[in-house]
Structure 1
Amino acid sequence: MKRMMRRLLPVLMAVVPLTVCAQKVYELKDASGRVQVNVSVNDKNVEYSVLHEGDVMIDHSPVSMKLTDGTAFGVNPKVRKVNRRSVNETIYPPVYKKKSIEDRFNELTIDFKGGYSLVFRAYEDGAAYRFVSSLKKPFMVESEQAVFCFPNDPKLFVASPKGRMNEGKKDPFYSSFQNTYVETALSAWDKEQIAFLPVLVEGKNQKKICITEADLLDYPGMYVKHGDSGFSLEGTFAAYPKKVVDEVRGLKGVVKSREPYIAKVEGATAFPWRVMVISKDDTELLCSDMVYKLATPAQFTDFSWIKPGKVAWDWWNDWNIYDVDFRAGINNETYKYYIDFASRFGIEYVILDEGWAVPGKADLFQVIPEIDLEELVSYAKSKHVDLILWAGYRAFEKDMDRVCKHYAAMGIKGFKIDFMDRDDQHVVEFNRKAAETGAKYKLLIDLHGTFKPTGLQRTYPNTINFEGVHGLEELKWAEPGTDQVVYDVTAPFIRMVAGPMDYTQGAMNNVIMKNFHAVYTEPMSQGTRCRQLALYTIFDSPINMLCDAPTNYMKEEECTKFIASIPTVWDQTLPISGKVAEYIVMARQKDGIWYVGGLTDWNARDVEVDLSFLGKGEFKAEIFKDGINADRVGKDYKREVIRVSADKKLKLHMAPGGGFVVKITSVEETSGVN
């Protein structure tokens, strides 16, 4: 397990540990002094705690790691030396929600006898720690102790995997990571459940702690469960796969047995960061950069070929185009129609989802006779559109390098990879290898059917999006009671803290809750039309799907033109107001043009947007807002254009399940807007 370490200038400082009885306490604070980490080392173990402005967020929590040979990191620890450093630099990400990121932290590294270290970092908005091994020989990790203790019984927002059926029972480590959140007291949460990360915890003074992980490249992903004592959460991990069987037409690998350890390690390595993002106000979670900052930087510098953008997508709408003189389906005529649609509205990509390769073969070189890929690539190129191909993970894994080389040479621009449905070490390493191989052949990689992002998008910026989200596809088969509207105003405060979301918005058939029902072939969304438009501004998604049928979009040209104009990466991201599980208002800016989006739950809501972020000048605001009857007919909306300025406040009403989106441009640049 080889890890590329970040090159930063260390600032060594003298360490004066505070001696308390038989333990040493090392104190670490961020530059502002808001966040404080205390690391206690005694003869038995290592514990840490995290405070925010004096409030205890994480109480004394032990950390350790057990190897299969009996070695244990963090047990009976013997400190060898301690170093500190301070870092203050700027990151310029090639694909992100901001043009630049201020990376400022203080770091404490404790080296222990026995070939390992613990590294702690304190940021203004949280803390993180990781184990680092300096052992030179390969070893296996039996277990890791990652505990998060709380001073009282906190409220949680958790998403528990339902677990797919495996060998006659539900396997919690076999999951699509696409579940809604449960809001519960920790003490009331089912002790038999586990939750995938991120999870959100409410601390003192209604502050929030978002627990997740970063720089996960070749180690199993972490879940949390009830801790053994007190009010605590404890990490748990899928064991290393022993026997994997191909299922679902050979497209996914299902684990039938596992080893008595969680990870194989080649030797010296840095393990994933355990991350705690702390917010005083819920809106601070909407633009957190901590996961990105903690990830390993890219080792290549030419990002010019990485092109974010929109995608005309076929699968959600079940290829259901109409008013045409050919049979719609997985064939060249249908995809030329999609390409024509994309070209007309300036949409950069068309995806060919499942079905272009021969079903049941799991062989990406066997293309169905109805599809001529070379012809489609040529046709798309003539229309200034590029193509992306869907692939099942096992089919992609079988011959990854040859597949990428072949299709890159043909002119394909990327792969959407699906059905991983696990985050044990094997699949985590697969995701990294897919990203690496994609970069080798200058291909975009969209990791669908997988776990939350942990910073791979920094290490390989061509890894442009991730699913691991209860996206719009869930409404094709939703069970009664599924509440997508509340999920939409919850996930940005939790799942989006980890990174971008392949949610696949853009439905044109919009209904209120009582009229919603699951339809696989002609699906609909919950909530209003303007809600769907607003999602393009609220959600981070550098490669963003238009999920509905081109025919439907062309019948709604006003909305379609607006969606197509919205950027997918940004120069600035600015949270305006919001509360987890209730509502969100955000502003984003790209090339001097501002977009403001709002979402509400099932409660109608009036909001006031302070426009002081606009600066000097006079501006035109193009507004899409819920129509007066949107609480009865979800498609009802109103578009208007008004003059605004920085000293004004914009008042907007959202219907139940509604939203709004505003495009703000300087008057000089919008003389043609009407």
Structure 2
Amino acid sequence: MKILFKITLVVCLFIFFGCNNSDEINVFSPNKNLRVDFNITKDGKPFYLILKASQKVIDTSYLGFDFDNSIPFIDNFQILKTSKSEFNETWQMPWGEQLDVVNHYNELKIELQEINQLKRKLNITFRVYNDGIGFRYEFPKQVNFKEALITNENTEFNLTVDYTTFWAPGDWDIYEHLYNTTKLSKINALKYVNQPVAQTYIPENAVNTPVTLVGKSGLHVSFHEAALVDYADMTLQVDTVNLSFKSNLVGSKNTPYKVKRTLPFHTPWRTVQITNKATELIASNLIVNLNEPSKMDDVSWFKPMKYTGIWWEMHLGKSSWDMTSGTHGATTENAKKFIDFSAKNNIGGVLVEGWNKGWGQNEGGFDFVTPYPDYNLNEIVAYGKQKGVEIIMHHETYGNVETYTKQQDTAFSLMKSLGIHVVKTGYVGKLIPEGKYHHGQFMVNHYNETVKKAAKYNIAINAHEPIKPTGLRRTYPNTISREGLRGQEFNVWDPKGGNPPEHLSIIAFTRMLAGPIDYTPGIFNIKLDDYKKGKQVNTTIAHQLALYVVIYSPIQMVADLVEHYEANPKPLEFIKEVGVDWEKTVVLNGEVGDFVTIARKERKTGNWFLGSITDENSRKITIDFSFLEDKTTYLAKIYKDGKNAHWNKNPLDIEFETIEITSNSKKTIQLAAGGGLAISLIRKN
């Protein structure tokens, strides 16, 4: 992987002994628009504030920890030393939303020590970007503190406004709840307790991250975390009276503590993105920049791709994962059908679920190397290579983490011997060992160790039922995509009617800020009555096309059945042409939960692709094509909602138009309720 460095490093040290409230300790963003103030109270309690211009975004917020094996980190601190530095680099993504990434921040590091007899030390580092901040705790090596058994981390985010908040409940086991839109003061995550959404555990009125807030002034704030390694997922407990969030780590039934670490160590970064516009949230690289540079010398063996698969048909009930039903989907014949279709339509991969023994209740657990007798793995892989199509492996665990861990080397060795470079992992159901939650330290370590182990075999991981993304794709670029949201399949499963039309207009400004999403777009057969009476996908077909640009992933599923694509050859043309690996991304317009329009430039071809989606409201949008290269003419193939299109009443109404476009062009287009717009912009000269 090529890395371009343009580094400016300026270090200024300021040393304080016995610092008091009169001392000013602060750090500004490079453009001076954001400021972090830090200090301690008279009784040694550390706190911080965040200001944008002169406006307080985060008011006085305290920092600290509770421990199972020691007295808390709350107060009684003195400041030993502070230091400031500036860092500026440009690095390149091996794959991603763009090629060049600017990483420019000012840093403030505070070194604290207790005044009492233990004299334990704690450092806090802030990095301030033009569009937000990250801060983390650092536990240095020290004589009187060897091991931290953290029962909770008491990081506060005290807000000053009752923001409109886009939130999902702080579930310790799943991220598959719908996002809600309420005032901060009206958040009630506990209403989701015992709702039928697979395994679930919601112990407090807390929200998962990313959580995005919008103020009447137009200020946009989003909270998340970066570089989640050997630690527990952070949810945010809500104080609806005082308009505050407080970190609440995911724990375990088995121990009184939530995190166990040997010193020295540091926590993940706590992140606050702060922008004037919704579009600037999507454009931000704060999360990925807060992660360490790549530890992999070469990831060229992974190729971003579109893929089809034996998957949607199981959710529809056309076929099954196991053989006992008599409708097994993962057969040699069926896999070849998907390979043939993919080869004809510029689609690089085929996912096969249900290929291996263990899906039946009486089969004794999963075997990750032994196919069912009606699926010839070697023949399928060879057939795919002949057609230029890669097979994507599938490893479902049903939550049996220990069994999967024991088989990983054998399973990855098989993949490497067959030249298979991508695996979709799954962790449906309650975990084994018992007492663990999907988002606790145990599973964080399992997910991350799986990625590192897979890298040794030149394998990339697309994780489902995962830990949320926190930008580690920079450090381990073989962590390519993941679920971690309410996916397309809920349109089949949900007894309440599936994902609403606004769903992905919220996701683009919440979950997508964390990293790539394997959402499985491209459903053409919107009404599912042939298989699931009364079920449907709650968008238009043009909306489904737009998702290939709007919702980012380096692997994008072409999720519907082959026959539904063959019955709609014109919309299929967009899927054939659209890219998956981008040189540049431009977020043209959008508002959280309402609509969004994104244009992306493909790396290899220089062609541009545009996607726009809206919620349940129809709206006109004007596209300014000034993002295109000057003096270049593009053939624009436009796929838009028909005049009578509607997500429920007429979802298949779609119109096509081909015109020439330049950087001087503007075009106004009507999006239907639940509708969308997709445009291919192919260079002519």
Q: TM-score, normalised by structure 2?
A: 0.87
Offset, 1:26: 1.0
User: How far, CA to CA, are the matches of 1:480 and 1:552 in structure 2?
Assistant: 25
User: How far, CA to CA, are the matches of 1:318 and 1:327 in structure 2?
Assistant: 9
Deviation per residue, 1:472-501 (Å, 9 max, x gap): 111011232544311111110111111111
Provide the residue aligned with 2:264 in structure 1. 268
Give the AA of the match of 1:234: K
Deviation per residue, 1:51-110 (Å, 9 max, x gap): 112221111111112333215445322222111110011020112101111110000011
Confirm or deny that 1:506 pairs with 2:526: no
1:311/1:349 contact within 8 Å kept? yes
Deviation per residue, 1:106-139 (Å, 9 max, x gap): 0001112223210001100011110011136343
Offset, 1:317: 2.5
Report the CA distance shift for 1:545/1:214 in structure 2 as closer, same or farther (over 3 A).
same
Provide the residue aligned with 2:321 in structure 1. none
User: How far, CA to CA, are the matches of 2:277 and 2:309 in structure 1?
Assistant: 36
User: How far, CA to CA, are the matches of 2:450 and 2:7 in structure 1?
Assistant: 28
User: How far, CA to CA, are the matches of 1:78 and 1:347 in structure 2?
Assistant: 60
Match of 1:304 among 296, 300, 305: 300
Confirm or deny that 1:146 pairs with 2:155: yes
Offset, 1:9: 7.2
Confirm or deny that 1:460 pairs with 2:476: yes
Offset, 1:229: 6.5
Confirm or deny that 1:221 pairs with 2:236: no
1:624/1:639 contact within 8 Å kept? yes
Give the AA of the match of 1:189: I
Identity, % of aligned pairs? Answer: 28
Provide the residue aligned with 1:186 in structure 2. 184
Give the AA of the match of 1:36: R
Match of 1:610 among 624, 637, 645: 624
Give the AA of the match of 1:533: L
1:476/1:521 contact within 8 Å kept? no
User: How far, CA to CA, are the matches of 2:303 and 2:15 in structure 1?
Assistant: 50
Offset, 1:636: 1.4
2:16/2:81 contact within 8 Å kept? no
1:479/1:518 contact within 8 Å kept? no
Report the CA distance shift for 1:523/1:7 in structure 2 as closer, same or farther (over 3 A).
farther
User: How far, CA to CA, are the matches of 2:7 and 2:663 in structure 1?
Assistant: 40
Q: Equivalent residues in 2 for 1:25-64 (5 A)? A: 25-42=24-41, 43-64=43-64
User: How far, CA to CA, are the matches of 2:23 and 2:185 in structure 1?
Assistant: 32
Q: Equivalent residues in 2 for 1:261-410 (5 A)? A: 261-318=257-314, 329-359=329-359, 360=363, 361-393=365-397, 394=401, 395-410=403-418
Provide the residue aligned with 1:623 in structure 2. 638
Confirm or deny that 1:431 pairs with 2:456: no
Provide the residue aligned with 2:504 in structure 1. 488
Report the CA distance shift for 1:420/1:36 in structure 2 as closer, same or farther (over 3 A).
farther
Q: TM-score, normalised by structure 1?
A: 0.89
Report the CA distance shift for 1:355/1:22 in structure 2 as closer, same or farther (over 3 A).
same
User: How far, CA to CA, are the matches of 1:61 and 1:258 in structure 2?
Assistant: 31
Please, which runs of 5 or more residues in structure 2 have no aligned partner? Answer: 114-119, 191-204, 319-325, 430-437
Provide the residue aligned with 1:248 in structure 2. none
Provide the residue aligned with 1:246 in structure 2. none
State the 4+ residue runs in structure 1 displaced beyond 6 angstroms: 6-9, 16-21, 319-322
1:35/1:50 contact within 8 Å kept? yes
Give the AA of the match of 2:110: I
Provide the residue aligned with 2:198 in structure 1. none
Offset, 1:18: 13
Provide the residue aligned with 1:574 in structure 2. 586
Give the AA of the match of 2:371: V
User: How far, CA to CA, are the matches of 1:142 and 1:23 in structure 2?
Assistant: 33
Provide the residue aligned with 2:576 in structure 1. 564
User: How far, CA to CA, are the matches of 2:536 and 2:529 in structure 1?
Assistant: 8
- Matched residue count: 629
User: How far, CA to CA, are the matches of 1:205 and 1:307 in structure 2?
Assistant: 43
Give the AA of the match of 1:128: G
Report the CA distance shift for 1:22/1:666 in structure 2 as closer, same or farther (over 3 A).
closer
Deviation per residue, 1:291-346 (Å, 9 max, x gap): 10001222122121121111112212229899xxx987221111111111111112
Provide the residue aligned with 2:89 in structure 1. 89
Partner SS for 1:562:
helix
Provide the residue aligned with 2:123 in structure 1. 117
1:354/1:391 contact within 8 Å kept? no
Provide the residue aligned with 2:664 in structure 1. 647
The two structures, once aligned, show a CA RMSD in angstroms of: 2.5
User: How far, CA to CA, are the matches of 1:321 and 1:483 in structure 2?
Assistant: 19
User: How far, CA to CA, are the matches of 1:435 and 1:73 in structure 2?
Assistant: 33
Offset, 1:523: 6.4
Give the AA of the match of 1:156: T
User: How far, CA to CA, are the matches of 2:448 and 2:66 in structure 1?
Assistant: 25
1:352/1:390 contact within 8 Å kept? yes
Q: Equivalent residues in 2 for 1:547-558 (5 A)? A: 547-558=559-570
2:491/2:499 contact within 8 Å kept? no
Partner SS for 2:10:
coil
User: How far, CA to CA, are the matches of 2:233 and 2:110 in structure 1?
Assistant: 24
Give the AA of the match of 2:669: L
Offset, 1:7: 13
Deviation per residue, 1:14-48 (Å, 9 max, x gap): 43879996464411101101111111223331111
User: How far, CA to CA, are the matches of 2:536 and 2:310 in structure 1?
Assistant: 15
Give the AA of the match of 1:307: K
User: How far, CA to CA, are the matches of 2:477 and 2:540 in structure 1?
Assistant: 34
User: How far, CA to CA, are the matches of 1:523 and 1:417 in structure 2?
Assistant: 27
User: How far, CA to CA, are the matches of 1:355 and 1:127 in structure 2?
Assistant: 45
User: How far, CA to CA, are the matches of 2:491 and 2:546 in structure 1?
Assistant: 18
